[in-house]
Amino acid sequence: MTDQWWKRAVVYQIYPRSFADSNGDGIGDLRGIIGRLDYLADLGVDVVWLSPVYPSPMDDNGYDISDYQAIDPAFGTLADFDELVAGLHERRIRLVMDLVVNHTSDEHPWFEESRSGRDSAKRDWYWWRPEPNNWASFFSGSAWEYDAGSREHYLHLFSRKQPDLNWENPEVREAVYTMMRWWLDRGVDGFRMDVINFISKVVDLPDGVMRPGERYGDGTPYVFSGPRIHEFLHEMHEAVFAGHDGSLLVVGEMPGVTVKEAGLFTDPDREEVDMVFQFAHMSVDQGATKWERIPFSLPKLKGSLGQWQEGLGETGWNSLYWNNHDQPRVVSRFGDDDEFRVRSAKMLGTVLHLHRGTPYIYQGEELGMTNMDFSGIDDFRDIESLNHYSAATAAGHSPVHVLDALRHMSRDNARTPMQWDGTRHAGFTAGEPWIPVNPNHTEINAAAQEHDAGSVLAHYRRLVALRHDEPVVAHGDFTMLLAQHPHIYAFVRRLGDVRLLVLGNFSSDPQPVDVPDASSWANADIVLSNVDPVDGEGLELRPWEARVYKLDLEST
């Protein structure tokens, strides 16, 4: 088995549109990232995952690609890209690109040729039907669009400008593998593969179940991890990754994936992917849809993450994340973004990063950035949010109610500009930002935390260092404790004679902690905490406190 270096790695996700703008047009770009490489090196991360920077009409901010082998002028040039790769590699940081091949843009030459006529050579590169089925799009409305020119409908699980590719067609697969090899030859170190478990569909596209009150059916049972998904991913491994003797990182984003399926996808012997992004813990505070909030329950969150720790304990591997460009900020969601913002941000990072798996830091998470207090619908930019607003209000939901749901769950909460300093527009741009900067940047910003040992940034640097220095963090097994405790997250990691006890208080009240054989931890060292421990107080955690004990049986 190749050296699975990514088990010791920490990944940093950059959403280029909102990271750093170098030319004052209010849109982040590659030269902006190049200007911040030392910041990433100081944080200690091993990999950068770069969300899409390819030419795109930007209907879904780049997840709608019209040319896979170039850079969108808004982000820069291929020369800028090569300079970025060189700058990262100089700092021993690898670059993982975003691979969006479940669908293309409707302005991609492949689709333009496909829609040019029913007998087009690329007609079968997409899903065309005389009549649509009843499937819903993830961005509201039908998953089908009528093309007047060729008088048929095409499938688009996301926006109508994101037609789904037909992976049943070997020409499509070969074209994708050729493109992937082109980027690897250019020095790229792997891929984050967008909704990659959607590429194999049940080919007769049966109607989905209609939920009461819904206009469209749920097609996901015929899309999630379809009949040929393992065949396609293994074929891709053979065609693209096999020659790279494990030096790459390949992570599949897989909405709806089960623990069992993930065990198959990430089993090294099966040569499919190294790890997956699963979403179970991202819906613990959601009702039937992401817009219907339900009260947060810590036992439910522990139940979900615990199940994945156990399920992939022997074979396979987990990705660990609270945030990405599709989720609201975790400190506002599961933490306390007011009185205890700094402490809860550190506690959430500690609890996540010490699980078994590869942790992902989303830009700004290491600063404790919060959700945005959006004033009205005009503040939003995200197609999913805007489509939901118009669909929900058209269906009679009160705009106030829908706006409230958007404030909590909209993806735009993750997409407000990176807060580099306290100046106008947070040092993100000298121009007018494409989306408003969070006014709390005057308090929450990188410059203020750079040299502050008590900052969230300093704590994340310590977290990354702990994974690099303590093999138990990367390779230890995982045992959940106090699974039903409503406020305490507690677990043990073990590797040989070394044990870690990780404790986190998810409440604004002090919490006594009664862990099994507590006495054995009495003479353990505290290797990380977010509140200066007071001696002799036994195992009681203050509000939002995190503490990590290390016991080395060999030395005691």
Binder to ligand TEU among 12, 39, 63, 110 (CB under 6 A)? 63
Q: Which does 27 bind (CB under 5 to 8 A by kind): Ca ion, ligand TEU, none?
A: Ca ion
The b-or-e profile of 493-502 (16+ CB within 10 A means b, else e) is: bbeeebbbbb
Residue 412 in the binding site for ligand TEU (CB under 6 A): no
- Within 10 angstroms of residue 265's Cβ, the number of other Cβ atoms is 24
x/- letters, 388..407, toward ligand TEU (CB under 6 A) = --------------------
Does residue 387 interact with Ca ion by CB under 5 A?
no
**Dist. CA 377–CA 399, nearest whole Å:** 9
- Please state, in angstroms and rounded to a whole number, the distance separating the CA atoms of residues 148 and 400: 37
| CA-angle at 411, arms to 338 and 363, nearest 5° | 65
User: Is 314 annotated in the active site?
Assistant: no
The residue from 46, 106, 253, 274 that is catalytic is 253
Choose between 61 and 511: whose C-beta lies nearer to Ca ion. 61
Q: Which of 21, 46, 106, 194 binds ligand TEU (CB under 6 A)?
A: 194
**Pick from 194, 189, 193: which is nearest to 88 by CA?**
189
Which of Ca ion, ligand TEU, none does residue 21 bind (CB under 5 to 8 Å by kind)? Answer: Ca ion
Q: How near is the Cβ of 224 to Ca ion at its closest, in Å?
A: 37
492 close to 549: Cβ distance less than 8 angstroms: no
Distance between CA atoms of residues 143 and 219, nearest Å: 9
Query: Given the structure tokens 């065309």, which residue do they identify?
Result: 128
Report the nearest approach of ligand TEU to the CB of residue 34 (Å): 24
Question: What does the block give as tokens for 89?
Answer: 């590699």
> For residues 161 and 411, which CB has a smaller minimum distance to ligand TEU in the complex?
411
Which pair of tokens denotes residue 500? 């870690």
* CA–centroid distance for 293 within its chain: 20
Compare residues 253 and 379 and give the one whose CB is closer to ligand TEU: 253
Instruction: Decide whether 391 or 448 has the Cβ nearer to ligand TEU.
Output: 391
The entry of Ca ion, ligand TEU, none near residue 326 (CB within 5 to 8 angstroms by kind) is: ligand TEU
21 scored as a contact of Ca ion (CB under 5 A): yes
The CA R_g of the chain, rounded to the nearest whole Å, is 23
The answer to whether residue 80 forms part of the interface with Ca ion (CB under 5 A) is no
Least CB distance to ligand TEU at residue 503 (A): 30
The sign of the torsion formed by the CA atoms of 315, 362, 279, 222 equals: negative
Whether residue 487 contacts residue 426, with contact meaning beta carbons closer than 8 Å, is answered with no
Q: How far is the CB of 22 from Ca ion (least distance, A)?
A: 6
For residue 27, the minimal CB distance to Ca ion (Å) is: 4
Which of 25, 83, 147, 477 binds Ca ion (CB under 5 A)? It is: 25
Cα–Cα distance between 129 and 152 in angstroms, integer? 6
Residue 470 contact partner, candidates Ca ion, ligand TEU, none, CB within 5 to 8 A by sort of partner:
none
CA 280 – CA 260 distance, rounded (Å): 13
The stretch among 19-27, 346-354, 370-378, 521-529 that binds Ca ion (CB under 5 A) is 19-27
DSSP-based three-state secondary structure for 164: strand
Q: How many CB atoms lie within 10 A of CB 164?
A: 21
- Please enumerate in sequence order all residues whose Cβ is within 8 A of that of 296, keeping only pairs 6 or more positions apart, or say none: 284, 285, 333, 334
**Is 23 an interacting residue with respect to Ca ion (CB under 5 A)?**
yes
Catalytic: which of 194, 365, 382, 545? 194
> Residue 138 interacts with ligand TEU (CB under 6 A)?
yes
Q: How many residues does this entry show for the chain?
A: 556
Q: Which does 25 bind (CB under 5 to 8 A by kind): ligand TEU, Ca ion, none?
A: Ca ion
Shortest Å, Cβ 326 to ligand TEU = 4
Min CB(343)–ligand TEU separation in Å: 28
Q: Is 29 in the site for Ca ion (CB under 5 A)?
A: yes
Neighbours of 146 (CB within 10 A): 14
Return d(Cα 54, Cα 77) in angstroms, integer. Answer: 10
Residue 373 catalytic?
no
- Contact flag: residue 34 with Ca ion (CB under 5 A): no
Chain contacts with Ca ion (rule: CB under 5 A): 21, 23, 25, 27, 29
Which residues of this protein are in contact with ligand TEU, per CB under 6 A?
60, 63, 100, 138, 158, 194-195, 253, 255, 290, 325-326, 384, 411
Q: Catalytic amino acids?
A: 194, 253
